[in-house]
C-alpha cells in the first residue's frame, strides 16, 4: 500500500488526535449524517494544498479549526498528516517514508512540512505532481462534485484531464519559463536602455580621448624636436661666446700695447717740442680723435643693441602672422544669414530656368560668394601684432637716428684722421728724433683705428648673440610650459664649428607649428577624461556581455517553452486516446452499450482593445484548446449531456473519472458518497467498477450504500458524542470472517 495513514488533530469536528490506517485496497468510511465522515475527505483536500476554503465548507482558515463545545475546549490550531510508503520511490525524495503535513492557526497563517521540515506550498505541489496527485481534485470526488467534470467549461475540463494524466508538471515548467522569459525580456529592455543612455556620452569621451592621444603624439614629437633644437642652440651660443671671447683677446691686447707705445711717443714729443704750436696741435688733434672715436663706439654699441631687438621683434611678428593665418575670427549670425540669402536667391533663379548650363553657372557664382565671404572674414586683426608693429616702428626710428649719428661721428673721425695724416706728412720731412716719435704716433693711431673697427664688429656680433640667447631662454620657458619639463631636459652637445642657422630657424618654425597644434588639440583634465572613458567603456562592455547572455537566455527559454509545448501536446494526445478507450469500456459497462469519447476542440478567445466600448475597433482573436464530451446512449436518441437524467449524468461522470484514474493511476482515490444517486442495479455495477479501480489505486470510499460497503476490506465508522467531537470505530472484514468461522 502506498498510502499508509491519515492523522487529524483539531481539524473541524476531529477535536482530538485521530488516525486512520489504510491496509487494504478499499477502505470504507460510514456514519450517520452530521457525524463528520465527509470531514475526512476535506482533510485530504486540506493537506494536499487546497487553497479554496469554500471547497472545504468554510469562509476563513479559522473555520477549519475545532471550535470546542460545552464539554471540550477549542483548539488553537488544526493539523493534518498524510503518511506514504516511499520504498518504491513514489516520490522523488530519498526517504522510505514521506509525511506531508499542513497546519493552520487561528490568525490564518499556514505551515507546510515534509518529514517535519518546513517547506513552501510550491514544494508540496511539485512533490505531489510527480506522483500524479494534482490540485484539480480528480482523485478526490465528493457528492455533487462528480458531476463537475460534466458541467465545467472545456478549458477547465482540459486542465483536469492534464492533471489526471500527470502532465501538469510540464505546464508548471512552461508557466515558470514564460515568467522567466518575461523577466528576461524586461532585463533586455533595461540593459538596452542603459546602453542607449551612455552611448552619446561614450561617443563624446571617445572623441576627447582621440584628441588627447593626438595631443600626446604632438607633445612627444615636440619634446623630441625641442631637445634636439635646444641642445644645438645652446651649443651654438656657447660656441659663439667662446669664439667672440677669443677674437676679442688679441685686438684688446694689441690696443693695450699700442696705448703704451703711444704714451711713450707722446713723452718724446712733449720733451722735444714742448711749447711749440705744432706739438700742441698734434696733441689737440689726438685728443679730439680719441673723443670722437669713443663717441662713435658708444653709437655702434647702441646701434647693435637696437638691431638685436629689431631682429627679435621681426621673428616674433613672423610667428604671430603664421598663427593668425591658421586661425579664424568670429562671424556674426547676421552676416551668415546674408550669405545664406544670397546663395538661396541664386539657387532659386537656377531652379526657375532649370537648364544644366544655368546650374553650372550658378555653382560657379556660389563658389565665388563663398570665396568672397571667407576673404572678407579672414582674421587679420591681432592686438599683439599691432603692439609689436608699434614697437618695431619705434626701434626703426631709433635705428635711423643712431645711424645718422654714426655717420656724423664717422665723418668727424675721418676729418680728424685726415688732418692728422696731413700733419704727419709734414712732420715726416723732418729727420730728427721728434719726427720719428711723431711718425710712431701716427702709426699707432692708424692701427688703433683698425682695431677699433674690428672690436665694433665684434660688439654687433655680441648683441646679435645676446638676442639669440634671450630668445633661447624664452623658448625654454614656453616649451616647458606647453610640452612639460621633459622637453627642456636635453644633453648639451660639444661642437667644433658654428651651426647652420638656417636649419635652426627651420627647426624653430616647425616647433612653433607644433605648439599651435598642441594648444588646439589640447584637452583639459586629460587624466580624469581618460579615467572616465575607461570606466564608461568597461561598463558598456559589461552591459554588452550581459545583453548577450540575456539574449542567449531568452533564446534558450523560448526553445524550452517550445519543447514543453510539444511535450504537452504529444502526451496530452496520447493520454486522450487512452482515456477514450477506458471511458468507452466503463460507459458500456454502466449503460450496457452506447458510445462515449472525449474530443479536443478549439474555442475563440477575443482580446479586448484599449477602448472596450468602441464597437468598430477590431478585436484580436485567439484560439484556446478545450475538451468536449460526446456520448450516445443505447436504445435512446440521446447524444448530448444536456439531455441526460440525473442518474445518467452521475454514471457518465463516474465512468469518465474512473477512466481518467485508470490511464495514469494516482496512489489513492477518495469517493465521497458518489454512489448516493444510484439504484440497486447500478450500485452493483458501481461496486464492480470500484473493485476494478482498486487494482491500480487505493480507494477510500465514504458511503451509505450497502453494496459499496461490501467491497471494502476495512470499515471505519464515524460517530459524534455529546462533546461534539468525531470518533472512529473500525472493523476488518477479513478478521470478522475468520472470527465467524
Question: The cell 625654454 sits on which residue?
Answer: 476
DSSP conformation class of 96: S
100 forms beta bridges with: 82, 114
Write out residues in the chain with pLDDT < 70, as ranges. Answer: 1, 134-138, 143-146, 270-280, 283, 320, 322-334, 353-357, 359-360, 375-384, 424-435, 492-499, 521-525, 606-620, 638-640, 734-741
Which SS3 state, helix, strand or coil, does residue 632 take?
strand
Q: Is the C-alpha dihedral spanning 464, 469, 473, 478 positive or negative?
A: positive
C-beta neighbour count of 332 within 10 angstroms: 9
First to last CA, the chain: 27
Decide: 127 and 606 in contact? Cβ < 8 Å. no
Residue 741, pLDDT score: 45
- If you compute the radius of gyration of the chain from its CA atoms, what whole number of angstroms results? 60
Question: Where are the extended beta strands (E) located within 528-619?
Answer: 595-607
Q: What is the DSSP string of 366-390?
A: HHHHHHHHHHHHS----HHHHHHHH
C-beta neighbour count of 316 within 10 angstroms: 17
Residue 279, pLDDT score: 59
Domain layout of the chain by residue ranges: 1-133+703-741, 194-329+378-521
In CATH, what number does 1-133+703-741 get?
A: 3.40.50.300
Residue 364 CA, distance from chain mean position: 50
Decide: 6 and 41 in contact? Cβ < 8 Å. no
| Residues ≥6 apart with Cβ < 8 Å to 254 | 447, 451
Residue 59, pLDDT score: 86
pTM: 0.50
Question: The cell 454514471 sits on which residue?
Answer: 651
Q: What is the DSSP string of 152-186?
A: S-HHHHHHHHHHHHT-HHHHHHHHHHHHHHHHHHH
Decide: 78 and 12 in contact? Cβ < 8 Å. yes
Residue 275, pLDDT score: 47
Question: The cell 510550491 sits on which residue?
Answer: 122
Amino acid at each position: 500500500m502506498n498510502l499508509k495513514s491519515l492523522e487529524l488533530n483539531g481539524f473541524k469536528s476531529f477535536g482530538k488526535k485521530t488516525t486512520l490506517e489504510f491496509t487494504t485496497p478499499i477502505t470504507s468510511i460510514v456514519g450517520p449524517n452530521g457525524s463528520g465522515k465527509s470531514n475526512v475527505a476535506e482533510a485530504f483536500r486540506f493537506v494536499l494544498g487546497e487553497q479554496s476554503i469554500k471547497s472545504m465548507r468554510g469562509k476563513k482558515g479559522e473555520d477549519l479549526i475545532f471550535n470546542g463545545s460545552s464539554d471540550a475546549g477549542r483548539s488553537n490550531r488544526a493539523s493534518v498528516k498524510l503518511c506514504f510508503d516511499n520504498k518504491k520511490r513514489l516520490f522523488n525524495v530519498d526517504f522510505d517514508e514521506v509525511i506531508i503535513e499542513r497546519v493552520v492557526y487561528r490568525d490564518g497563517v499556514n505551515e507546510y512540512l515534509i518529514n517535519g521540515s518546513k517547506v513552501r506550498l510550491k514544494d508540496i505541489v511539485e512533490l505531489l505532481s510527480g506522483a500524479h496527485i494534482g490540485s484539480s481534485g480528480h482523485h478526490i470526488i465528493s457528492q455533487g462534485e462528480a458531476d463537475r467534470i460534466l458541467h465545467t467549461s472545456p478549458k477547465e475540463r482540459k486542465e483536469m484531464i492534464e492533471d489526471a494524466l500527470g502532465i501538469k508538471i510540464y505546464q508548471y515548467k512552461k508557466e515558470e519559463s514564460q515568467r522567466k522569459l518575461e523577466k528576461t525580456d524586461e532585463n533586455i529592455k533595461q540593459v538596452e536602455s542603459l546602453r542607449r543612455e551612455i552611448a552619446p556620452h561614450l561617443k563624446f569621451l571617445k572623441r576627447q580621448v582621440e584628441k588627447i592621444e593626438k595631443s600626446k603624439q604632438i607633445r612627444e614629437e615636440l619634446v623630441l624636436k625641442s631637445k634636439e633644437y635646444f641642445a644645438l642652440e645652446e651649443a651654438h651660443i656657447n660656441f659663439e661666446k667662446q669664439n667672440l671671447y677669443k677674437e676679442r683677446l688679441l685686438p684688446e691686447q694689441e690696443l693695450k700695447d699700442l696705448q703704451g707705445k703711444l704714451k711713450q711717443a707722446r713723452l718724446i714729443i712733449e720733451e722735444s717740442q714742448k711749447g711749440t704750436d705744432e706739438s700742441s696741435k698734434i696733441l689737440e688733434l689726438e685728443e679730439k680723435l680719441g673723443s670722437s672715436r669713443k663717441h662713435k663706439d658708444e653709437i655702434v654699441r647702441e646701434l647693435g643693441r637696437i638691431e638685436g631687438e629689431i631682429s627679435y621683434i621681426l621673428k616674433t611678428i613672423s610667428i604671430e602672422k603664421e598663427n593668425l593665418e591658421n586661425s579664424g575670427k568670429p562671424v556674426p549670425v547676421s552676416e551668415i544669414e546674408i550669405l545664406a540669402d544670397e546663395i538661396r536667391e541664386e539657387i532659386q533663379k537656377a531652379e526657375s530656368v532649370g537648364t544644366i548650363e544655368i546650374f553650372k553657372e550658378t555653382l560657379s557664382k556660389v563658389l565665388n560668394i563663398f570665396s568672397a565671404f571667407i576673404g572678407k572674414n579672414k582674421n587679420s586683426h591681432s592686438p599683439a601684432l599691432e603692439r609689436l608693429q608699434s614697437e618695431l616702428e619705434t626701434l626703426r626710428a631709433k635705428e635711423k637716428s643712431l645711424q645718422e649719428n654714426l655717420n656724423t661721428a664717422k665723418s668727424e673721425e675721418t676729418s680728424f684722421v685726415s688732418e692728422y695724416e696731413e700733419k704727419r706728412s709734414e712732420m715726416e720731412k723732418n729727420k730728427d728724433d721728434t719726427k720719428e716719435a711723431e711718425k710712431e704716433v701716427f702709426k699707432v693711431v692708424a692701427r688703433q683705428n683698425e682695431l677699433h673697427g674690428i672690436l665694433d664688429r665684434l660688439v654687433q656680433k655680441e648683441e646679435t648673440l645676446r638676442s639669440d640667447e634671450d630668445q633661447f631662454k624664452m623658448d625654454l620657458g614656453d616649451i616647458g610650459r606647453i610640452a612639460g619639463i621633459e622637453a627642456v631636459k636635453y644633453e648639451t652637445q660639444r661642437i667644433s664649428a658654428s651651426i647652420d642657422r638656417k636649419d635652426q630657424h627651420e627647426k624653430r618654425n616647425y616647433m612653433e607649428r607644433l605648439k599651435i597644434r598642441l594648444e588646439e588639440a589640447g584637452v583639459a583634465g586629460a587624466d580624469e577624461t581618460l579615467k572616465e572613458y575607461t570606466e564608461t567603456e568597461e561598463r558598456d562592455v559589461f552591459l554588452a556581455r550581459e545583453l548577450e547572455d540575456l539574449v542567449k537566455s531568452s533564446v534558450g527559454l523560448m526553445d524550452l517553452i517550445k519543447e514543453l509545448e510539444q511535450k504537452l501536446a504529444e502526451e496530452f494526445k496520447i493520454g486522450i486516446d487512452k482515456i477514450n478507450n477506458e471511458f468507452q469500456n466503463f460507459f458500456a459497462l454502466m449503460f450496457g452499450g452506447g458510445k462515449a469519447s472525449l474530443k479536443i476542440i478549439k474555442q475563440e478567445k477575443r482580446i479586448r482593445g484599449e477602448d472596450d466600448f468602441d464597437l468598430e475597433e477590431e478585436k484580436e482573436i485567439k484560439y484556446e484548446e478545450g475538451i468536449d464530451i460526446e456520448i450516445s446512449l443505447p436504445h435512446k436518441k440521446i447524444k448530448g449531456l444536456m439531455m441526460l437524467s440525473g442518474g445518467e449524468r452521475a454514471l457518465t461522470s463516474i465512468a469518465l473519472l474512473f477512466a481518467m484514474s485508470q490511464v495514469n493511476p494516482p496512489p489513492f482515490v477518495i469517493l465521497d458518497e458518489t454512489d448516493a444517486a444510484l439504484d440497486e442495479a447500478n450500485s452493483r455495477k458501481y461496486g464492480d467498477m470500484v473493485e476494478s479501480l482498486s487494482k491500480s489505486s487505493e480507494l477510500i470510499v465514504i458511503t451509505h450504500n450497502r453494496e459499496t460497503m461490501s467491497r471494502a476490506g476495512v470499515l471505519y465508522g464515524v460517530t459524534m458524542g455529546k462533546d461534539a467531537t468525531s470518533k472512529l470505530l473500525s472493523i476488518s472484514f477479513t478478521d470478522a470472517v475468520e472470527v465467524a468461522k
